[in-house]
Amino acid sequence: MKLFKRVPFCQVAFSTVTLNTYFAQLVLGFFLSVSGISIAQQAAPAASSAPTTDDEMSKAILEKLQKSGDIVIRPSDLPSKPPPKAAVAANPVAKQEAKPAAKPIEHAHWSYTEGPDGPANWWRTSKDNLLCSAGKQQSPINIEGGILVDLPPLRFDYKISPLTIQDNGHTILVNYAEGSNLSLDARQYRLVQFHFHKPSEEAIDGKRADMVAHLVHQHHDGRLLVVAVLMNSSLEASQAENAAFQMILNHIPLVKKESSSPNGVMIDLNQLLPKNLAYFTFMGSLTTPPCSENVQWVVLKEAAVISKQQLDNFSRIYPNNARPLQSRSGRLIKEAR
């Protein structure tokens, strides 16, 4: 009884090759499955001599196996996996990006009322208005605790000017013709324009006047000097006591943001000034956006007098167009003795 059957050598050799091929395919499948792809999914090779079909790939692996040594697969040999896609939130509304704090609102209108465009938010209304919040010499301020010193006198050289008046949506403004100047401490400033606020923006010892006229002057080097003429109403005062202010009220344009230049009407700003020209002075800023600083302020200690009716007439147009008081921030205030 024969336990073993002699098998021809060629048949054994053939079976060995077949087994090796089968084993090579198993190894190939294992490594490619680890990399996450199949043989059919591999990218096309760069050279035409490289194996391109499953059979050719099997032969290549078989040749590796038949050689001495182990097959080492380096990370660089494996196809790189694509970066994971960002997970999409199940509820995109629930996850919101943090809003940048204090981002300026470009080209927004500013006003004197509380709200998103009010004085506390002027700095947000334009990138040009950041000083309204970040400035260190902002105006107006409460004037108190000044040092008494000998100050140079104010020398007004105001000429009569054709009346050019505008309601710009924030105040009543009068543009003054060239040729009127103010001299202070050997420096001459040209009167550019003047406008009004109710109540006065400045306070003296915590008290504000009924109104104020801001007379804006400019030196030839660009520096600004603003003279503040406080205005208080009196029941005894007649309209004739302040003819300059009455002329302005008479010619306020009917439509906001329109200018008026009535033919032949002239104005003399000297009529608005009080008799006593003693003053306080300090450094500050414009009281409206962009709140530019390095402005010298001159606040007359004596108030001009207007009638109660004149005050009421202006109040019907601008009942409140005054900026809140700002921090003094240690500024020096000089007071004429």
pLDDT in tens, 198-253: 999 999 999 999 999 999 999 999 999 999 999 999 988 887 789 999 999 999 99
If asked whether residues 313 and 193 sit together in one domain, one would say yes
Of the three residues 43, 59, 77, the one that is the final residue of a domain is 77
Backbone angles phi, psi at 203, to 5 degrees: -125, 145
Q: What is the overall mean pLDDT for the chain?
A: 81
The reply to whether 209 falls in a domain is yes
CA dihedral over 268, 269, 271, 275, signed as positive or negative: negative
For the cut 60, the answer to whether the pLDDT of residue 137 exceeds it is: yes
The reply to whether 1 falls in a domain is no
Whether 61 contacts 23, CB under 8 Å: no
The reply to whether 91 falls in a domain is no
CA dihedral over 181, 184, 187, 193, signed as positive or negative: negative
Q: What is the 3-state secondary structure (H, E, C) of the chain?
A: CCCCCCCCHHHHHHHHHHHHHHHHHHHHHHHHHHHCCCHHHCCCCCCCCCCCCHHHHHHHHHHHHHCCCCCCCCHHHCCCCCCCCCCCCCCCCCCCCCCCCCCCCCCCCCCCCCCCCCHHHHHHCCHHHCHHHHCCCCCCCEECCCEEECCCCCEEECCCEECEEEECCCCEEEECCCCCEEEECCEEEEEEEEEEECCCCCEECCEECCEEEEEEEECCCCCEEEEEEEEEEECCCCHHHHHHHHHHHHCCCCCCCCEECCCCCEECHHHHCCCCCCEEEEEEECCCCCCCEEEEEEEECCCEEEEHHHHHHHHHHCCCCCCCCCCCCCCCCEEEC
For the cut 90, the answer to whether the pLDDT of residue 62 exceeds it is: no
More confident call, 104 vs 201: 201
Quote the CA–CA distance of 104 and 107 in Å, as a whole number: 9
Backbone angles phi, psi at 226, to 5 degrees: -115, 125
Number of structural domains found in the chain: 2
pLDDT in tens, 276-294: 999 999 999 999 999 999 9
| pTM beyond 0.85, yes or no | no
Of the three residues 57, 77, 97, the one that is the final residue of a domain is 77
Quote the CA–CA distance of 215 and 290 in Å, as a whole number: 18
If asked whether residues 43 and 189 sit together in one domain, one would say no
More confident call, 53 vs 327: 327
Give the residue-averaged pLDDT of 130-140: 98
What is the percent of the chain with per-residue pLDDT over 90, rounded to a whole number? 64
Per-residue pLDDT, 40: 44
More confident call, 212 vs 48: 212
Backbone angles phi, psi at 317, to 5 degrees: -95, -50
Q: Which of 150, 155, 159 is nearest to 184 (CA)?
A: 155
For the cut 90, the answer to whether the pLDDT of residue 141 exceeds it is: yes
Per-residue pLDDT, 254: 93
Residue 94 contacts by C-beta under 8 Å, 6 or more apart in sequence? Answer: none
If asked whether residues 73 and 142 sit together in one domain, one would say no
Quote the CA–CA distance of 52 and 48 in Å, as a whole number: 8
CATH number of residue 211's parent domain: 3.10.200.10
If asked whether residues 72 and 166 sit together in one domain, one would say no
More confident call, 20 vs 123: 123
Per-residue pLDDT, 232: 98
If asked whether residues 141 and 67 sit together in one domain, one would say no
Q: How far apart are the first and last CA of the chain?
A: 143
Give whichever of 31-35, 61-65, 94-98, 224-228 has the largest mean pLDDT: 224-228
Per-residue pLDDT, 171: 98
The reply to whether 124 falls in a domain is no
Give the residue-averaged pLDDT of 190-196: 99
The reply to whether 3 falls in a domain is no
**Which residue reads 């660089």 in tokens?**
76
The region of weakest confidence among 63-67, 263-267, 304-308, 324-328 is 63-67
pLDDT in tens, 254-274: 999 889 999 999 999 999 999
Give the residue-averaged pLDDT of 64-78: 41
| Annotation says 170 is catalytic | yes
68: left (phi over 0), alpha (psi -120 to 50) or beta: beta
Structural domain of residue 53, as residue ranges? 9-77
Per-residue pLDDT, 56: 59
Given 109, 170, 214, 251, the catalytic residue: 170
Give whichever of 14-18, 49-53, 99-103, 308-312 has the largest mean pLDDT: 308-312
